[in-house]
Each structure stands twice: as structure tokens, then as C-alpha cells.
């Protein structure tokens, strides 16, 4: 098929991915890589490169909306970004050493695990005990607005959170995903940061993490402008449409359908990876 047709098809797929990703809050990145690799037969390194670009675009574009409410904690975000960016570098370097088939299998497994983790009910927030000394030293604790006024929260288990963020960074750099869900999980469950603070802070972090690995991908020649162009523009368009529609659509059904799609993609990636179809 011609380049023009290919670009158009790719762009359309990207719009759909971005739209669904923003509606369900699960992110378009997890769909872009399988879409490119399985449906369009693109080499997985190019696919991951293009997906990283779209992750930067959507997260940076959306960040402005989250800032206004005063939920995100810049200090937590910046401190943890040391871990995520180093992890992203490690992941990007690892991508050169690991075969594309192995990357596909890892991708599928991560997809399965994150689908499972996000379907579990969230644990109850424990009441504050004594503050974590590291959190106090780094002034990570903060407040966030609630109906009762500003509520304080304390951050716990900072080293564990840091380690988990490093892992999230590796996944982002290796697989071209935002790892947003993983980051939120780490902040919410391990570090006991309130959910809304976790999600907004995570949104800020995703773009920076992806940029760290995208730089490596770009200089390695893994980013093909012909691919990245329709993917980036399509996902941007799709996710901005999605946020506009967000209020009126019952997301629970969509989430369910999306989870099924993700399961199918995960299975296919693992299968293709193992049988060497990629």
C-alpha cells in the first residue's frame, strides 16, 4: 500500500487508541505498540519509539488540566523522577540488547499484570501514624483540598516507592508505555499517598519519564518520522475528543470492553513473541 494510505490508516487507528485511552483513563500507549506491531506489522522497536512520542504528547497536553485543582505534589514528583528517569534510561538501553520477540513477550505479560492490578479494589487509607523520617527530611508531606478543607497527608516507605518508580521507568523505556497505572499503584499503595494526589502527580511524571527514554530512542534511530507523525497527531486528536466526551459517557462499560481488548492484545503479543512471529 502507499505511504499516504498507510499514514491515513495509522492515523485513524491512533485516534481510536487515544480516544479510548483517555475515556477509560488507561492510556493510549498500551494499545499503540500492539496496534503497530500486530496489525500493521511494524518492527517493534519503531513501534515503541512511536508510542513513546505519543505518551509524551498526551501526558504533557493533559497536564495543564490537572494542575489547577491543587492536588499534585511537585516535590514528590520531582524526587521520584530521579528514579523514573534513571529507570527509563536503563530500559531504553536494555531495548537494544533484548530481542524484539522477548520485548513482545514482556509487553504482553506486563499488560496482563496491569490489567489484573487495576481491577482489584483499592485498599483503605490507613490513618496517619508517626511520619516517615525520610519524608520529613525531604518535605514530601503535603495537603490537598477536600470538602472539609485542606487535609494533610503523610508519605511513607519512601525507599520502596523510589525502587518501584525505578521499575516503572524501566518498563516505560523498554515497552513505550507511560506506566501511569504502575506509578499510581506505587504511590497509592506503597507510599500511602491519597489517590487523587497520586493520579495527578503521576500524570506529571509520565511525560518526563517518556522523554528520558525517547531521547535515547531518537539518537539510536528508533524513531521513524513517517510513523511517529500520524501516531502523535492521531493520539492527540483522539484523546482531546475523549476528554470532551468524558462527562457524558458511562465509563464503566467502556472500561470493561477496553480490558477485554487489552487481554486479547496481551495474549496475542505473548503468542507472537514466543512463536517468533515478530
Partner 1 sequence: MAQAEAVWPDEQMEQVVGNLLRIGVILAATVVFCGGILYLVRHGAAAADHQTFHGEPEDLCRPGGIIGNALAFRGRGLIQLGLLLLIATPVARVAFTAFAFARQKDWTYLVITLMVLSVLLFSLFYGQPEGGLERPARPPFSDGTSNRRG
| 7: contact with partner 1 by CB under 8 A | yes
| 94: contact with partner 1 by CB under 8 A | no
Measured distance CA(111)–CA(171) in Å, rounded:
11
Q: What is the number of alpha carbons within 13 Å of residue 202 lying toward its C-beta?
A: 27
Number of residues engaging partner 1 in binding (CB under 8 A): 66
Tell me the closest approach of the beta carbon of residue 263 to partner 1, in angstroms. Answer: 26
Q: What is the number of alpha carbons within 13 Å of residue 164 lying toward its C-beta?
A: 19
| 226: contact with partner 1 by CB under 8 A | yes
Measured distance CA(94)–CA(268) in Å, rounded:
23
Quick one: which segment of 41-49, 151-159, 251-259, 268-276 binds partner 1 (CB under 8 A)? 41-49
Copy the grid coordinates of residue 96: 537494544
Measured distance CA(236)–CA(59) in Å, rounded:
10
| 74: contact with partner 1 by CB under 8 A | yes
| 224: contact with partner 1 by CB under 8 A | yes
Q: Beta 142-146 vs 149-153: how paired, if at all?
A: antiparallel
| 275: contact with partner 1 by CB under 8 A | no
Angle between helices 158-175 and 44-67 (to 10 degrees): 130
- Beta-bridged to residue 143, according to DSSP, are 152
| 15: contact with partner 1 by CB under 8 A | no
Tell me the closest approach of the beta carbon of residue 41 to partner 1, in angstroms. Answer: 5
Tell me the closest approach of the beta carbon of residue 270 to partner 1, in angstroms. Answer: 20
Q: Which of 212, 262, 265, 266 binds partner 1 (CB under 8 A)?
A: 212
Q: Which of residues 95-124 bind partner 1 (CB under 8 A)?
A: 96, 100
Cβ proximity to partner 1, 69 vs 260, nearer residue: 69
Q: Exposed, middle or buried: residue 215 (CB in 10 Å: 0-12, 13-18, 19+)?
A: middle
Tell me the closest approach of the beta carbon of residue 171 to partner 1, in angstroms. Answer: 16
Buried b (16+ CB within 10 A) or exposed e, 60-83: bebbeebeeeebbbeebbebbbeb
Cβ proximity to partner 1, 60 vs 259, nearer residue: 60
Q: Which of 167, 223, 262, 269 binds partner 1 (CB under 8 A)?
A: 223
Quick one: which segment of 19-27, 56-64, 176-184, 251-259 binds partner 1 (CB under 8 A)? 56-64
Angle between helices 44-67 and 195-220 (to 10 degrees): 140
Dihedrals phi, psi of 194, to nearest 5 degrees = -55, 145
Residues that bind partner 1 (CB under 8 A): 1-7, 40-43, 45-46, 53, 56-57, 60-61, 63-68, 70, 72, 74-75, 78-79, 81-82, 85-86, 88-89, 92, 96, 100, 138-139, 207-208, 210-216, 218-230, 232-233, 236
Amino acid at each position: 500500500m502507499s505511504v499516504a494510505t498507510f499514514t491515513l490508516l495509522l492515523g485513524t487507528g491512533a485516534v481510536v487508541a487515544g480516544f479510548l485511552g483517555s475515556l477509560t483513563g488507561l492510556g493510549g500507549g498500551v494499545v499503540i505498540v500492539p496496534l503497530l506491531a500486530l496489525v500493521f506489522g511494524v518492527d517493534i522497536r519503531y513501534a515503541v519509539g512511536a508510542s513513546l512520542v505519543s505518551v509524551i504528547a498526551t501526558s504533557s497536553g493533559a497536564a495543564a488540566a490537572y494542575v489547577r485543582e491543587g492536588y499534585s505534589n511537585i516535590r514528590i514528583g520531582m524526587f521520584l523522577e530521579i528514579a523514573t528517569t534513571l529507570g527509563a534510561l536503563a530500559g531504553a538501553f536494555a531495548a537494544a540488547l533484548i530481542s524484539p520477540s522477548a520485548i513482545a513477550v514482556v509487553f504482553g505479560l506486563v499488560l496482563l499484570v496491569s490489567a489484573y492490578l487495576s481491577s482489584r479494589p483499592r485498599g483503605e487509607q490507613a490513618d496517619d501514624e508517626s511520619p516517615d523520617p525520610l519524608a520529613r527530611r525531604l518535605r514530601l508531606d503535603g495537603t490537598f483540598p477536600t470538602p472539609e478543607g485542606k487535609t494533610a497527608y503523610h508519605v511513607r516507605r519512601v525507599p520502596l516507592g523510589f525502587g518501584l518508580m525505578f521499575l516503572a521507568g524501566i518498563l516505560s523505556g523498554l515497552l513505550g508505555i507511560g506506566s501511569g497505572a504502575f506509578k499510581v499503584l506505587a504511590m497509592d499503595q506503597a507510599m500511602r499517598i491519597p489517590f487523587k494526589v497520586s493520579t495527578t502527580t503521576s500524570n506529571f511524571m509520565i511525560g518526563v519519564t517518556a522523554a528520558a527514554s525517547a531521547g535515547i530512542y531518537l539518537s539510536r534511530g528508533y524513531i521513524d518520522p513517517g510513523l511517529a507523525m500520524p501516531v502523535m497527531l492521531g493520539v492527540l486528536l483522539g484523546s482531546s475528543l475523549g476528554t470532551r466526551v468524558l462527562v457524558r459517557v458511562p465509563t464503566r462499560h467502556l472500561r470493561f470492553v477496553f480490558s477485554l481488548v487489552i487481554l486479547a492484545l496481551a495474549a496475542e503479543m505473548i503468542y507472537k513473541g514466543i512463536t517468533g512471529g515478530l
